A = this chain, B = another copy of it.
Amino acid sequence: MGGRGIGEVLQLLQAEFADVTISKIRFLESEGLVTPARTASGYRKFSAADLERLRYVLTAQRDQYLPLKVIKEHLGAIDRGLRPAAAGPPVAPSSLPQTPGQPVADDFGAAGTELRLTRDELLRAAGVTAGLLGELEAHGLVVASGNHYGGDAIVIAQVAAELAAYGIEPRHLRAFRTAADREVGLIEQVTGPRRTEQTGELAALTVRLHTALVRSRLPRP
């Protein structure tokens, strides 16, 4: 019951993961992905839970190509009880474009400094007419904060322009606005009105859900 030595752990894992080595296990510890106990003399002792954790890490690396940083966040989330501990290995996400994949904070997070565009800059960047933008604002799809617009406004305007080519006009898009509002409302019920670590994670999840639902309801090919 004292746990296993690192050599023994290596044996166990090598059956499943060909490229694991002792130095790699030590490296993973140094990166904070496992924290085995130590004997009085400093030897690592791995519990069954530590082994599970290692398996999780190696699986996520091999099958999903996740960077260690991200795997570490996932493990952290599990530790904080955000996910049933019984849950198996991480699962491959859908590979849709436009779909945020893993529940990781900075999917929807502040990757860089947020754009701040004037109205003219927005019009030029999105390549739309002032008329279209006016309509979008009238229906609450694009909102200026102060006298500037964020980067998402570009995407919204571009997409609206493309949809207009199909005969779908801004007024048909009001439902999207309310759906988005409700979605954000739900997220804020959990995280509170300030932005937290979880905000981005949750947004990624709900958007993924939305996408999958739309797909599933589309006429079958």
Chain A residues with a Cβ under 8 A of chain B: 11-12, 15-16, 18-19, 52, 55-56, 59-60, 62-67, 70, 74, 81-84, 86-112, 114-115, 125-127, 141-143, 150-156, 158-163, 165-168, 172-173, 175-177, 179-184, 186-188, 190, 193-195, 198-200, 202-221
Contacts and interface: CB of A to CB of B under 8 A. Distances in A.
Closest CB pairs A-B (n = 9):
A15-B154, A111-B221, A110-B221, A86-B92, A180-B213, A152-B216, A179-B179, A64-B101, A155-B212
A147 to B, nearest CB: 16
A155 to B, nearest CB: 4
A190 B167 contact: yes
Contacts of A200: 218
**How many copies of the shown chain assemble into the complex?**
2
Given A16-B95, A103-B162, A103-B212, 9 more contacts: A19-B112, A91-B127, A96-B106, A111-B221, A163-B206, A166-B202, A168-B186, A194-B219, A195-B219
